[in-house]
Amino acid sequence: MAKKAELHIDGEIIELPVITGTENETAIDISRLRAETGVITLDKGFKNTGSTQSGITFLDGEKGILRYRGYAIEELAEESSFLEVAFLLIYGELPTSEDLAAFEKEISEHTLVHEDVRSILDGFPSKAHPMGVLSSLVSSLTAFYPKSLDPNRSVEEINGTIIRSIAKLPTLAAWSFKNRMRQPVIYPDNSLGYCENFIRMMFSLPTLNYEVNPVVASALNKLLILHADHEQNCSASTVRIVGSSHASLYASVSAGIAALWGPLHGGANQAVIEMLEQIKDDGGDVDKYVAKAKDRSDSFRLMGFGHRVYKSFDPRATIIKKAADEVLGQLGVEDPVLDIAKKLEQVALNDEYFKVKGLYPNVDFYSGIIYRAIGIPTDMFTVMFALGRLPGWIAQWKEMRENGEPIGRPRQIYTGATERKYVPIEKR
């Protein structure tokens, strides 16, 4: 028998359907609530509110579970490639070897961007943050592919936009870095793999054809997989709500990049390293900073700690911490900031404040240490997060469009002035 919930309000009782997902999560469907009672719900930050039903990613915050289309992140991080995971997230199934080869070939053929992008890039000052540059350059793709603006294009044309997005983001990301360094841009080399091509565009110079270290390419592949999707997080919700107005995929992804930039979201990986550097420069006194994080009168927070969903541990952080040790060892890199991170983690995990509030290291706590070791500068860390998250954003946008979901338009409770008459300025 279908489960129901009863809501008693102003002497009325309304029955609401309860829906259950494939992992036994349950929700009260309030679609009819306002029409039948005139009442809405209020949930700032949507901490208790589901925005959709999705078959893409499953998280269990208590058990530290993360699965893409049913496959455990631990297996995908060890066994898969980023483009294979991108195919899985976007099209719903692991590709056959023929499908994957065709997908990789299509992407390799679309890595170049229109030459006019360089004129747009030249308009940015060298101190422009790469996330701001990247968001703008992705939005500019609508100018070069105006057909992408029509939301009702054929499946083939929408898929063409999906392929171009995945193919061109590494080029735009590397070029946003070159702008920062005031170095000439490096064009993609379609004979290289996805990660290798990006690394080469980042670090090559007209006078230096950078040899990509396979350890670095492998570490990047794993990091991109670990960042690929995370259900209805802030930036994915942004991509969905922008796409729900039938804006193009490029415009929706550009908005997602802007949302990811914030230090409470993807910008945390940059903020973590800045925090660890501050602790190192302050003599490495982690106890002092743990105390600051616990002090409600102090706005300082341990960046890279805490999560809206994970209240036990973030499975990605576990994998990345192990990878950090491996990569630094293979590259022979000594980073005192890694030692501070481990010490900080130990102190915090043994502190009641963090245990009671369920605050554990999240995906951003260790990722920056690997990015540093492979030569990525700090203000490019969130760009790396965006590179990884792109397939997830695309999958969420595609699912929302295929399900014909309505434009996102929440209600509110008004708390402003009640009606009053206009007073001419001479009488105020």
Question: Applying CB under 6 A, which residues contact ligand SDX?
Answer: 45, 230, 233, 264-266, 268, 293, 301-309, 357, 359, 362-364
110 is catalytic: no
Q: Which residue is nearest to ligand SDX (CB)?
A: 306
Closest to ligand SDX by CB, 130 vs 304, is: 304
As measured in angstroms, the least distance from the Cβ of 143 to ligand SDX is: 29
CB 176 within 8 A of CB 134: yes
Residue (of 383, 392, 358) closest to 233 by Cα position: 392
List, as one string, the DSSP characters of 402-419.
HTTPPPP-------S---
Nearest residue (CB) to ligand SDX, 198 versus 393: 393
Alpha-carbon distance 117 to 321, whole Å?
Answer: 37
Structure tokens at 175: 């070029």
Find the shortest distance in angstroms from Cβ 348 to ligand SDX.
8
Smallest gap, in angstroms, from Cβ of residue 189 to ligand SDX?
30
- Considering 227, 230, 265, 364, which one is annotated as catalytic? 364
Buried b vs exposed e over 395-409: b needs ≥16 C-beta within 10 Å?
Answer: bbbbbbbeeebeebe
Q: Are 372 and 272 in contact (CB under 8 A)?
A: no
Tell me the C-alpha distance between 422 and 416, whole Å. 16
* Least distance in angstroms from the C-beta of 208 to ligand SDX: 34
Would you say 188 or 391 has its CB closer to ligand SDX? 391
| Least CB distance to ligand SDX at residue 236 (A) | 7
Kindly name the residue from 265, 307, 314, 379 that is annotated as catalytic. 307
Using the minimum distance from each CB to ligand SDX, give the nearer residue, 158 or 239.
239
Specify the length of the chain in residues: 428
- Select 280 or 308, whichever has its Cβ closest to ligand SDX: 308
List helix spans (H) across 27-127. Answer: 33-37, 73-79, 82-91, 97-108, 116-122
Q: Are 172 and 110 in contact (CB under 8 A)?
A: no
- Contact, 302 vs 346, CB < 8 A? no
Query: Which residues are part of the catalytic machinery?
Result: 307, 364
